């Protein structure tokens, strides 16, 4: 079986090759492309049984249709989020779409907490100051987290892991999620979004990007937040109306912002643009605030997570090939879960 990996970085190759090598009778031939999958590059999937993609590959209906035309039968996401794939088009063309739903929720939660800690105690500024021989404390004043209220939007695996850590800090945790979970109920109380926003000293986003959550943080919802609120987004950039967030940073209604994701990230993130003039004025404005941290979508990036991502992605395709079903399938129509033409091997 031929698997074409798009947006493949050296670290992807390292972990996928290692995962493939542990499969004794492996028949998966992996081809790595360091560029993303798009309408311009989809022709390179020709002859592949499956493609493996990441968060910034764009699989709209035209790309999905082209994949089907090239004979590809499965789209393997090596991430949890799937907002970049047109699932309806995949179902229409009979392609399996599978993701890695839970490779390390703690990795992302720990990163969200690292952002909270950095922003709150200004360690990003202290690091630079001390290197310049400046040991003054003015401007580094933080707030004790113990006793503060953390509002979690989305209490799935990552939201609950974040809530658990913040509870350990002595914070009060509250949450909004249209589908409440028993795991969160052990940590704190559910609220409506309208109740959560004015009560929270820190708001951390952990819901997926969907039509219903796009720009869930906007001018109106920001106005309901506590003045000086700290806003953390490790989920997807499209959850924020970034222009509204910039206005709120300028007016000081938002007192601190940490982003691991950005709405326009696909043309920049995961590559070195340090020798270029970056044209995205919104992103560049964000980087000028001393109380805004922007990272390049790295919350997932731990050794343990990369290992599990590679293992689970290969397990997904093996399971589908051998049994005709895949428990991590995101496509609804059961008839597409059996593709007799896909090469079947004994494992
Ligand atoms: P999950 O599927 O376990 O949980 C998502 C939760 O959001 C569910 O409980 C769901 O009910 C809730 N939800 C749905 N609609 C909502 C709404 N309108 N308002 C509030 N909550 C809503 O997902 P998981 O694993 O916790 O991941 C969350 C998100 O984190 C992913 O969708 C992905 O976008 C992002 N992510 C970011 C990574 C990074 O490296 N920065 C890595 C992995 C995931």
Grade residue 333 by pLDDT with cuts at 50, 70 and 90. low
Q: Pseudo-torsion of CA 244, 250, 256, 257, nearest 10°?
A: 40
The pLDDT assigned to 48 comes to 97
Q: In this structure, which residue's CA is closest to atom 15 in ligand 1?
A: 207
Q: In this structure, which residue's CA is closest to atom 19 in ligand 1?
A: 177
- Nearest ligand 1 atom to the CA of 299 is 40
Q: What are 278-308's pLDDT values in tens digits? A: 999 999 999 999 999 999 999 999 999 999 9
Strands 254-259 vs 292-294: parallel, antiparallel or unpaired = parallel
CATH class of 105-294: alpha beta
Grade residue 337 by pLDDT with cuts at 50, 70 and 90. very low
Query: Can you read off the two tokens belonging to residue 91?
Result: 């179902």
Out of 115, 207, 221, 306, mutate this one to test ligand 1's pocket (max ligand atoms within 8 Å of CB): namely 207
Grade residue 339 by pLDDT with cuts at 50, 70 and 90. very low
Q: What are 117-133's pLDDT values in tens digits? A: 999 999 999 999 999 99
Q: What are 313-323's pLDDT values in tens digits? A: 999 999 999 89
Give catalytic residue positions: 236, 265
Q: In this structure, which residue's CA is closest to atom 30 in ligand 1?
A: 235
Question: In the chain, where are the structural domains located?
Answer: 2-103+302-323, 105-294
- How far does the centroid of ligand 1 lie from the alpha carbon of residue 295, in Å? 18
- How far does the centroid of ligand 1 lie from the alpha carbon of residue 231, in Å? 16
Average pLDDT over residues 19-46: 91
Rounded Cα gap, residues 261 and 297, in angstroms: 5
Out of 206, 221, 304, 308, mutate this one to test ligand 1's pocket (max ligand atoms within 8 Å of CB): namely 206
Average pLDDT over residues 42-48: 96
Same fold, 2-103+302-323 and 105-294: yes
The pLDDT assigned to 23 comes to 80
HSE of 113, CA atoms in CB hemisphere, 13 A: 20
pLDDT, mean over the chain: 94
- List the one residue out of 124, 127, 105 whose CA is nearest residue 234: 105
| C-beta neighbour count of 327 within 10 angstroms | 11
Query: Can you read off the two tokens belonging to residue 343?
Result: 């090469």
Ligand 1 site: residues with CB under 6 angstroms?
Answer: 80-81, 102, 105, 108, 153-159, 176-179, 206-209, 212-213, 234-236, 260-261, 297, 299-300
Q: What are 76-110's pLDDT values in tens digits? A: 999 998 999 999 999 999 999 999 998 899 999 99
Rounded Cα gap, residues 173 and 158, in angstroms: 14
Out of 157, 158, 216, mutate this one to test ligand 1's pocket (max ligand atoms within 8 Å of CB): namely 158
Identify the H or E element spanning 53.
strand 50-53
Query: Would the pLDDT of 25 be above 80?
Result: no
2-103+302-323 folds as Rossmann fold (3.40.50)
- Nearest ligand 1 atom to the CA of 181 is 9
Average pLDDT over residues 69-77: 97
Rounded Cα gap, residues 171 and 181, in angstroms: 19
Q: What are 199-223's pLDDT values in tens digits? A: 999 999 999 999 999 999 999 999 9
The pLDDT assigned to 346 comes to 30
- Locate all alpha helices (DSSP H) within the chain, ordered by sequence: 10-21, 61-69, 87-92, 105-121, 123-131, 157-168, 182-185, 193-199, 219-223, 242-250, 281-286, 303-323
């Amino acid at each position: 079986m031929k698997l074409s990996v798009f947006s493949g970085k050296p670290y992807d190759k390292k972990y996928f090759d290692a995962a493939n090598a542990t499969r004794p009778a492996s028949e998966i031939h992996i081809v790595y492309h360091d560029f993303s999958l798009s309408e311009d590059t989809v022709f390179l999937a020709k002859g592949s049984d499956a493609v493996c993609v990441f968060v910034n590959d764009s699989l709209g209906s035209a790309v999905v249709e082209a994949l089907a035309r090239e004979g590809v039968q499965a789209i393997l996401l090596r991430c949890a989020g799937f907002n970049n794939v047109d699932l309806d088009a995949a179902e229409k063309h009979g392609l399996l779409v599978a993701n890695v739903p839970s490779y390390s929720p703690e990795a992302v939660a720990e990163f969200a907490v690292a952002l909270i800690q950095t922003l709150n105690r200004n360690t990003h500024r202290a690091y630079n100051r001390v290197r310049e021989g400046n040991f003054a404390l003015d401007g580094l004043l933080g707030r004790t987290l113990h006793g503060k209220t953390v509002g979690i939007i989305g209490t799935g695996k990552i939201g609950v892991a974040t809530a658990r850590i913040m509870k350990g800090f002595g914070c009060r945790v509250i949450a909004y999620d249209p589908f409440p979970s028993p795991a969160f109920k052990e940590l704190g109380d559910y609220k409506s979004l309208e109740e959560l926003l004015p009560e929270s000293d820190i708001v951390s986003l952990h819901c997926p990007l969907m039509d219903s959550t796009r720009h869930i943080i906007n001018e109106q919802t920001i106005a309901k937040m506590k003045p000086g609120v700290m806003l953390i987004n490790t989920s997807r950039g499209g959850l924020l109306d970034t222009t509204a967030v910039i206005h709120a940073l300028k007016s000081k209604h938002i007192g601190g912002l940490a982003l691991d994701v950005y709405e326009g990230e696909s043309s920049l993130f995961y590559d070195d643009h340090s020798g270029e003039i970056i044209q995205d004025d919104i992103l560049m404005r964000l980087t000028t605030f001393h109380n805004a941290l922007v990272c390049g979508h790295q919350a997932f990036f731990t050794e343990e997570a990369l290992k599990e991502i590679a293992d689970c992605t290969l397990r997904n395709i093996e399971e589908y090939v051998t049994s005709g079903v895949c428990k991590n399938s995101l496509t609804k129509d059961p008839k597409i879960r059996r593709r007799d033409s896909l090469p079947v091997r004994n494992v």
